[in-house]
Amino acid sequence: MNANLAPLSAALLLGALLAAAVWHDVRSRRIPNRLVLLGALAGLALHALAPAGAGLFRAPFGGLGALAGLAGLGAGLAVLLPMYLLRAMGAGDVKLMAMVGAFLGPRALLDAALWSLLAGGALALLAALCSGRLLALLANAYQMMLHALVRTLAGAGGGIDAPAAASGKLPYAIAIACGTLLHLLLSYLRVPSLLP
């Protein structure tokens, strides 16, 4: 396969899977398990079957191996699992990030996850602004930080409580897709990673 066509094909496959996840998430607020499972299996198969290389999206193109694909899948689960446990995110979002990890491997997944979290914050602010809920979002954040500060100063520990009123829900597949695609673009342009 052409040296430039192989990473492009992998990127198009991952992009199509992310687009399908965004479509489902926006439409029904659910990401189908079948989509995520098939995507994760495709990422793992590419890493296992492609000749050894620097990754599916790097030069020289090649698989990192089945274990690295599994490590990326596990890292994807681990990075968003705390947000799921805090009920700040759905299980489908966590599984979608795991699927991305199966394609990227563990090292690149951390960079894509950081971009996804930043994209999620920016999208949440934009959605709050467009829906007229920005003041409620800022008030919730202020109250959470104030309570944490008071508890810390009183010696009761500085945990942060959930906000008193929800400020809205965002289909987080959009943030994961934006962060992942931004990571791929920056990698292609050889922009250094956010992580050391």
| Span 53-105, pLDDT tens digits | 888 887 788 889 999 999 999 999 999 999 888 888 889 999 999 999 999 99
Cβ burial, residue 149 (10 Å; 0-12/13-18/19+): exposed
3-state secondary structure of 85: helix
pLDDT band at residue 2 using 50, 70 and 90 as cut-offs = low
Top-confidence range, 100-104, 146-150, 163-167: 100-104
pLDDT at residue 135 greater than cutoff 60:
yes
Q: Please state whether the peptide bond connecting residue 60 to the residue before it is cis, i.e. omega within 30 degrees of 0.
A: yes
Q: Which amino acid is at 45?
A: A
Contact 120, 170 (CB under 8 A): yes
Read off the pLDDT of each residue in 106-134 and give the average, rounded to a whole number.
Answer: 89
| SS3 (DSSP) at 52 | strand
